[in-house]
A and B are shown apart, each in its own frame.
Chain A
Amino acid sequence: MGNDINIHPLGDSGLTIVVDDTISPEVNQKVLALAKAVEQNEFRSIIEVVPAYTTIAVYFDPLVTSYDYLSKSIHKTWKDLEIGDESISREEVIIPVLYGGEKGPDLETVAQHNGLTPEDVISRHKASDYLVYMIGFLPGFPYLGGLDKKLTTPRLETPRQEVQAGSVGIADQQTGVYPLDSPGGWNIIGHTPVKLFDPEREEPFLLKAGQSIRFKEVNEDEWHSIQERVKRGTYEIEVRRGGG
Chain B
Amino acid sequence: MSVPIFSIKKEGVYTSIQDQGRYGYQSKGVPVSGAIDRYACLIANHLVQNSEEQACLEVTFGGTELIAEKDHRIVICGADLDAKLNGEVAPLWKTFVIQKGDTLKFGGPINGTRAYVAVEGGFDVPSYLGSYSVYERGGLGEKVSKSDSIYVKEESYTLVKRGVVEQYLPSYEKEIEVGVIPSHHHQDLFEEDSYAAFFETEYQVAGGDRMGIQLKNDHKLRFKNRGDILSEPTTFGTIQVPSSGNPIILMADSQTTGGYATIGTVATADLWKVAQLPPGGKVSFKEVSLDEAVERHKEQQELLKWI
Contacts and interface: CB of A to CB of B under 8 A. Distances in A.
Interface of A: 6, 8-14, 16, 18, 21, 23, 35, 47-57, 59, 62-63, 66-67, 134-141, 143, 179-180, 182, 197, 199, 204-205, 208-209
Contacts of B129: 199, 204
B196 interface: no
Given A6-B184, A138-B29, A197-B29, 15 more contacts: A8-B184, A9-B182, A10-B235, A11-B238, A12-B181, A55-B233, A59-B235, A62-B297, A63-B298, A137-B258, A138-B138, A138-B255, A139-B139, A197-B28, A199-B129
B230 interface: yes
B255 A137 contact: yes
Nearest to B264: A11
A51 B184 contact: no
B231 A18 contact: no
A35 B293 CA distance: 26
Contacts of A52: 230-233, 257
B51 interface: no
Nearest to B30: A139
Contact of B268 (A11, A66, A67): A11
B23 interface: yes
Contacts of A143: 231
B140 interface: yes
B49 interface: no
A48 B138 contact: no
B95 interface: no
Contacts of A6: 184
B231 A47 contact: no
Nearest to B301: A63
B290 A12 contact: yes
Contacts of A138: 29, 137-138, 255
B13 to A, nearest CB: 21
B231 A16 contact: no
B231 A9 contact: no
B221 interface: no
A197 B30 CA distance: 10
Contact of A137 (B29, B140, B290): B29
A182 B301 CA distance: 38
Nearest to B21: A47
Contacts of A63: 297-298, 301
A132 to B, nearest CB: 11
B235 A134 contact: no
A13 B266 CA distance: 10
Contact of A16 (B30, B140, B233, B297): B233
B267 interface: yes
Contact of A12 (B24, B231, B297): B297
Contacts of A53: 230-232
Contacts of A9: 181-182, 265, 290
Contact of B235 (A8, A11, A56, A62): A11
